[in-house]
Amino acid sequence: MRPSGRKLDEMRAVSVEVGFTKHAEGSALIKMGDTHVLCTATIEDRVPPFIKGSGLGWVTAEYGMLPRATNTRMRREAASGKQGGRTVEIQRLIGRSLRAGVDRVALGERQITVDCDVLQADGGTRCASITGGWIALRLAVNKLMKAGDVITDPLVDPVAAISCGIYAGQPVLDLDYPEDSEAGVDGNFIMTGSKKLIEVQMSAEGSTYSRDQMNQLMDLAEKGVSELVAVQKEVTA
Amino acid sequence: MRPSGRKLDEMRAVSVEVGFTKHAEGSALIKMGDTHVLCTATIEDRVPPFIKGSGLGWVTAEYGMLPRATNTRMRREAASGKQGGRTVEIQRLIGRSLRAGVDRVALGERQITVDCDVLQADGGTRCASITGGWIALRLAVNKLMKAGDVITDPLVDPVAAISCGIYAGQPVLDLDYPEDSEAGVDGNFIMTGSKKLIEVQMSAEGSTYSRDQMNQLMDLAEKGVSELVAVQKEVTA
Amino acid sequence: MRPSGRKLDEMRAVSVEVGFTKHAEGSALIKMGDTHVLCTATIEDRVPPFIKGSGLGWVTAEYGMLPRATNTRMRREAASGKQGGRTVEIQRLIGRSLRAGVDRVALGERQITVDCDVLQADGGTRCASITGGWIALRLAVNKLMKAGDVITDPLVDPVAAISCGIYAGQPVLDLDYPEDSEAGVDGNFIMTGSKKLIEVQMSAEGSTYSRDQMNQLMDLAEKGVSELVAVQKEVTA
Amino acid sequence: MRPSGRKLDEMRAVSVEVGFTKHAEGSALIKMGDTHVLCTATIEDRVPPFIKGSGLGWVTAEYGMLPRATNTRMRREAASGKQGGRTVEIQRLIGRSLRAGVDRVALGERQITVDCDVLQADGGTRCASITGGWIALRLAVNKLMKAGDVITDPLVDPVAAISCGIYAGQPVLDLDYPEDSEAGVDGNFIMTGSKKLIEVQMSAEGSTYSRDQMNQLMDLAEKGVSELVAVQKEVTA
Amino acid sequence: MRPSGRKLDEMRAVSVEVGFTKHAEGSALIKMGDTHVLCTATIEDRVPPFIKGSGLGWVTAEYGMLPRATNTRMRREAASGKQGGRTVEIQRLIGRSLRAGVDRVALGERQITVDCDVLQADGGTRCASITGGWIALRLAVNKLMKAGDVITDPLVDPVAAISCGIYAGQPVLDLDYPEDSEAGVDGNFIMTGSKKLIEVQMSAEGSTYSRDQMNQLMDLAEKGVSELVAVQKEVTA
Amino acid sequence: MRPSGRKLDEMRAVSVEVGFTKHAEGSALIKMGDTHVLCTATIEDRVPPFIKGSGLGWVTAEYGMLPRATNTRMRREAASGKQGGRTVEIQRLIGRSLRAGVDRVALGERQITVDCDVLQADGGTRCASITGGWIALRLAVNKLMKAGDVITDPLVDPVAAISCGIYAGQPVLDLDYPEDSEAGVDGNFIMTGSKKLIEVQMSAEGSTYSRDQMNQLMDLAEKGVSELVAVQKEVTA
């Protein structure tokens, strides 16, 4: 039995409010249950030095969490003078994942920065950031296309992410915080709308898992991503 | 004529959503027109070293702005490795202002940290932070009193803040960003519900002002703060 | 009764030694009683990026305090790896204040950096820095004019600053440290020689004040600034 | 055809020099082809604050690369003032992986820090660090057991890691740098001697992969880890 | 011929103003020609962790230079976020040198921090800091002895320092900046009043020197230190 | 009697493995007894800004120590966010010393960075770094000459370094760690193959020394450097 009463393969309620903030070229507040992440996409004409003049575009991401997004207040990273290891890991993952769905030639030599800021956390913030970040990216690219700055759609296959894990001996979909903090094994599965894999990270803390278990979680993840991609399409239609 | 069409002494529409996030002891999303600030209050049993054992409480504040809260994306402070001078100034001001309304003996030896994070900016973020921060503080203290942890109400007089300035030669109330960026003179006025002054900061950039002008802005500010205090009372009733 | 025996509207003895160091284009050691600040002005041909090519000049300031300028030794900011919030606030105030007296077109596209380093502190260091900083700036600009690099005097109205506060229930001029550490309300008043206001910062810590009190302090400040501007003129004549 | 002429499922030559440095409780220089990593294990009686008094032990890791371990010199992280995102990710992975093979109750309340410093890099440094780090850990724990400080062996199942990827359309084992820099998909597989999975990280940069491909790489990884565990046993026998 | 017209073995004019600032337990402004260093000594009852409980005292030093102490303005170290390599080297040298003249048992378990801040630089700032730092230390220790907190004088032999170098092929005493910037070889000689050596640092930049030359500079240094120790005694008598 | 049983003027066994790593233009692992330092030389076509366009070359050095190179583990400098004062001092010394043997005109406008990383420490790491660093530099320059990029050999006189000190009242050559930690006086002597002096640093901690003692150590150092230069020649022949 899951603490939330959900079925093993049941995701939390998902809702998305697009255009949550007005300045960004794309913005969305995604809620996966009590995990709320504000995602914004910013278009800039400059690209990082290593691709200057290549004609290729770039998509990158930054991640943050408000100090009291969590149950007890965490120290503000800006005040402590650096981003923690967890933050760095997550924002690299978000950027890498989003880029997998992007045709960088079609995007042209410009950069889109996706900021994912967690307003409230209840497990699964990195997956919500990827799923919501894609929505913000989609909205921003729509603007570029509407303005004629980009002709061929550079977003070739939608990207979404979901966590799965082994909780109380059972494979479960979309861990919330109470599950996440007790699961010995959990994974993040990032896929495209056509079920291609982008990144799988499955790790055990103080435990191990079998290939069978891995395959069970993969099955759950495919189900979850399908549902998320449907939401993405609906809210950006 | 103001860009927004407002009258000289007309504040932007104010709305407050209390309980915007669930973990904090007090939380509120305050909107002053297009300026949106999420304020949370966190109660902790420890106090800063300099008052340990004194029996006195402490109220402090931190301030941040999401990178794309503004028209062009600003660098994330956590990524650049330090809080900018403007951020430091603002969070010191918020803390000082809120403390002026607090009876630290009645609060008892505990600390309340008020985090003010700007989700969307359109001028006047520090004033919105103070006004909204007081609401979060009020909600958190209500919990302490309900639980019997605090007997006498330590919040002796509500604190609110508003900016005024001289725009196109006219004194105006509650500058939005288009006004703020052109005003040669502007000020922040922090007062209590009983019209006592806590802090006045009035500065000219590449300009000066007279005592008469200062008095005109003070009059406007008193009007604005009265209205804000009414809102504070209504949403925390 | 003031600890120093001064009258309510009596400033501390002011003395200025111009040319205290030889390398800077302008330098002055200003003493306001036991508060001693070494101010130097450095002229450079470059300007900050945001005004490059505009033809406008820039005046900026930095502030520091020697570790043992105070009664107990403070940690050296260079050793602790960053400037504290108080330092950042003060140097931004100094720069903003000095710029209010400068015609940046007449200055031409060059930058003058005013360094204010407190050798000994006894209250009022930010005001002494502004008043002394203006003297260093005046001396540096004199050199530019003598050399024919600048034709029209860019220093249009001298800038000086003084603190006032409410001590033992009485409005007093030019707080020294013993007064400053006990005053519930104090303010810094930055004005020009022609009594125009540049910046007023009046704040209460754990207290409040009325508009009447504010006006009394303004009256005192006008008296103080007049005397300081007279000193500035005398030593730079 | 692989650049090195190796077969698709052929690992690079592995050699280990145990006791490479004399001060550490355990040390080993592991060479996987031209990737050379010096691993040392340090035993300390203190544990991190979050497990103080729990009776549990802790294993953690740090990772570094000498500036000229690579083909072009990289900036020294100590000189640039922080560890890069890649470094942070890797050392967290090493620590997590090693802990999966450790019975922290049997270890007792002490910490073992495994330092992995890359002297020469040619792809696969994180996997070499985990495999070599386990050897250093094994040697250090042997000392504890010999001294009677630890009774039950806390190292319950050896941990090793290998990378696999899709190179020129083919699944290959143990990518070297020329392969790694061209592979669109690669993964790191961390397993125990009994083929239990600890962590799988499989990611595509600007590409995607199928579940079939994932399974092919898993098969290769199992073969590689078996060989590595055999080496670990041999050199620590 | 030296640029200053001084003889080869002639030191610059030395003057010392003791008690230059009022808060420090000992303070002195030392001028060696146009090199002016403000030295203060601060007594604290705490000692560094590594000698806590040992009964031994500690003397340490910090060094800084005002941004415009030099001919062109240098970046303020507090603003750049760290002390430069040169600063670190110098302050370690000052501390080590002063400690050589101190009986740490007689001092008792307390720490004296000597701050040396260069107000104006014209070569030889580290030597002036040592010589002036000893004076501040002497004055501070005198207070301890007068108060009966220390019985046996812990300052066993005065410490002073002078630079010598080879300028235009000639060994010269007490290099000023024009000499220093052209000398291929220069050294700093730190000795006690009884001509015992504490530290010799003699280095060539893009050049070398012989043992004969080294001995000539040693002779000059002994002369210089004798004169400096005489000044130290006179001003602290 | 020395702890190692060596004679007073006996150096530790020296061995050098050239080409220890494959990427660097020059590399050598130097062992002086149990002190092992990996030195690599990297050639780059860019030079520091201050000599751009001058036609002159530059040689610089960086120094590091692996965390467990020492008897107890030291904190990793990259993790603590800055290089310690000792590290900064040492790497400046290495760079300065090596440059003294280089004809920067003959080198041409390129930079060679010598990285010295201590794998195992037992005293004398800075001297081993200089001696071994020269070897790496020699190997790198050989490549430049072989390729015809440099015509005249820019390495005019080999540079080597050795420490000497007063241990148990006796002057001894090449202090190991047990001696170094007890010697009241020690020095580092950097010389060329033709016995010219580059840098002498002789310091006493809590002690002093006489000119006679200084001369005895100089004699020992000359002997040691002769032997080291012979090794350098042999391994780079």
Whole-number Å distance between alpha carbons of F227 and F221 = 10
Q: Inter-chain contact D113–F87, Cβ cutoff 8 Å?
A: no
Among A5-14, B62-71, C221-230, E86-95, which is the least confidently predicted range? E86-95
Q: What is the pLDDT of residues D46-89, one digit of tens each?
A: 999 999 999 999 999 999 999 999 999 999 999 988 888 899 99
Q: What is the percent of chain C with per-residue pLDDT over 90, rounded to a whole number? A: 93
pLDDT of the residue at A207: 81
pLDDT of the residue at C206: 74
SS3 label, residue E83 = coil
For testing the chain B interface, which of C203, C205, C215, C220 should be mutated: the one with the most B CBs within 10 Å?
C203
Q: What is the pLDDT of residues F192-235, one digit of tens each?
A: 999 999 999 999 977 899 999 999 999 999 999 999 999 999 99
Within 8 A by CB and 6+ apart from E140, the residues are E24, E25, E26, E41, E42, E43, E112
pLDDT of the residue at D198: 96
Q: Please, which chains are in contact with D (at least 3 CB pairs closer than 8 A)?
A: A, F
Tokens of F111: 């930079």
Q: What number is the average pLDDT over the span F60-80? A: 96
Q: Which residues in chain C come in under a pLDDT of 50? A: none
- Encode burial over A93-103: b for 16+ CB neighbours within 10 A, e otherwise: bbbbbbbbbbe
Identify whether the C-beta of residue C230 lies closer than 8 Å to the C-beta of residue C162: no
Strand order in the sheet with D197-204: A170-173, A159-167, A185-192, A197-204, D197-204, D185-192, D159-167, D170-173
Burial group, residue E195, by CB count within 10 angstroms (0-12, 13-18, 19+): middle
Rounded to two decimals, the ipTM of the complex is 0.95
Q: Inter-chain contact C22–E38, Cβ cutoff 8 Å?
A: no
Alpha-carbon distance B65 to nearest alpha carbon in chain A (angstroms) = 10
Alpha-carbon distance E79 to nearest alpha carbon in chain C (angstroms) = 6
Whole-number Å distance between alpha carbons of A174 and A162 = 6
Q: pLDDT-based confidence at B85, cuts 50/70/90? A: confident
Chain F from 50 to 109: CB within 8 A of any D CB: 62, 64, 66-71, 73, 76-79, 81-83, 87
Q: Inter-chain contact C76–E115, Cβ cutoff 8 Å?
A: yes
SS3 label, residue A202 = strand
pLDDT of the residue at D205: 80
Q: What number is the average pLDDT over the span D137-163? A: 97
Give backbone dihedrals phi and psi of E147, rounded to 5 degrees, phi first.
-80, -5
Q: Please, which chains are in contact with C (at least 3 CB pairs closer than 8 A)?
A: B, E
Residue of B nearest to A84 (CA): B78
pLDDT of residue F78 exceeding 80:
yes
Alpha-carbon distance A142 to nearest alpha carbon in chain B (angstroms) = 18
From the CA atom positions of chain B, what is the Rg in Å?
18
pLDDT of the residue at A81: 82
Instruction: Give me the residue from E85, E89, E198 closest to F204, CB to CB.
Output: E198
For testing the chain B interface, which of A34, A68, A94, A177 should be mutated: the one with the most B CBs within 10 Å?
A68
Instruction: Give me the residue from D198, D206, D211 closest to A100, CB to CB.
Output: D206
Q: What is the pLDDT of residues F106-119, one digit of tens each?
A: 999 999 999 999 99
Residue of F nearest to D27 (CA): F68
F53 is in an annotated binding site: no
CA nearest neighbour of E40 among E102, E93, E117: E117
> Is the sign of the CA dihedral A173, A178, A183, A189 positive or negative?
positive
pLDDT of the residue at F170: 94
Within 8 A by CB and 6+ apart from E2, the residues are E8, E167, E172, E179
Q: Please, which chains are in contact with B (at least 3 CB pairs closer than 8 A)?
A: A, C
Dump the DSSP string for C98-147.
HHTTB-HHHH-S-EEEEEEEEEE-SS-HHHHHHHHHHHHHHHHHHHHHHT
Q: Please give chain E's pLDDT, 237 residues, in tens.
A: 899 999 999 999 999 999 999 999 999 999 999 999 999 999 999 999 999 999 999 999 999 999 999 999 999 999 988 888 899 999 999 999 999 999 999 999 999 999 999 999 999 999 999 999 999 999 999 999 999 999 999 999 999 999 999 999 999 999 999 999 999 899 999 999 999 999 999 999 878 999 999 999 999 999 999 999 999 999 999
Q: pLDDT-based confidence at B229, cuts 50/70/90? A: very high
Q: What is the percent of chain A with per-residue pLDDT over 70, rounded to a whole number? A: 100
Q: What is the pLDDT of residues A16-75, one digit of tens each?
A: 999 999 999 999 999 999 999 999 999 999 999 999 999 999 999 999 999 999 999 999
pLDDT of residue F82 exceeding 90:
no
B99 is in an annotated binding site: no
Q: What number is the average pLDDT over the span B202-229? A: 94
For testing the chain C interface, which of B211, B213, B218, B222 should be mutated: the one with the most C CBs within 10 Å?
B211
CA end-to-end span of chain A: 37
Q: Inter-chain contact C214–B200, Cβ cutoff 8 Å?
A: yes
E41 has which bridge partners? E26, E114
Instruction: Give me the residue from C23, C73, C113 closest to E70, CB to CB.
Output: C23
Identify whether the C-beta of residue E93 lies closer than 8 Å to the C-beta of residue E199: yes
Residues of E in contact with C115 (CB under 8 A): 66-68, 73, 76
Within 8 A by CB and 6+ apart from C46, the residues are C110, C111
Residue of B nearest to A31 (CA): B21
pLDDT of the residue at E205: 80
SS3 label, residue B155 = strand
Cα C29 → chain centroid: 12
E68 is in an annotated binding site: no
Residue of C nearest to B100 (CA): C206
Q: What number is the average pLDDT over the span D31-52? A: 96
Residue C209 per-residue DSSP state: B
Cα angle D55, D59, D61; round to 5: 155
Q: Inter-chain contact A68–B120, Cβ cutoff 8 Å?
A: no
Identify whether the C-beta of residue B134 lies closer than 8 Å to the C-beta of residue B28: no
pLDDT of the residue at C37: 98
pLDDT of the residue at C115: 98
**CA-to-CA separations, D105 to C173, D56, D181, in angstroms, rounded:** 68, 5, 41
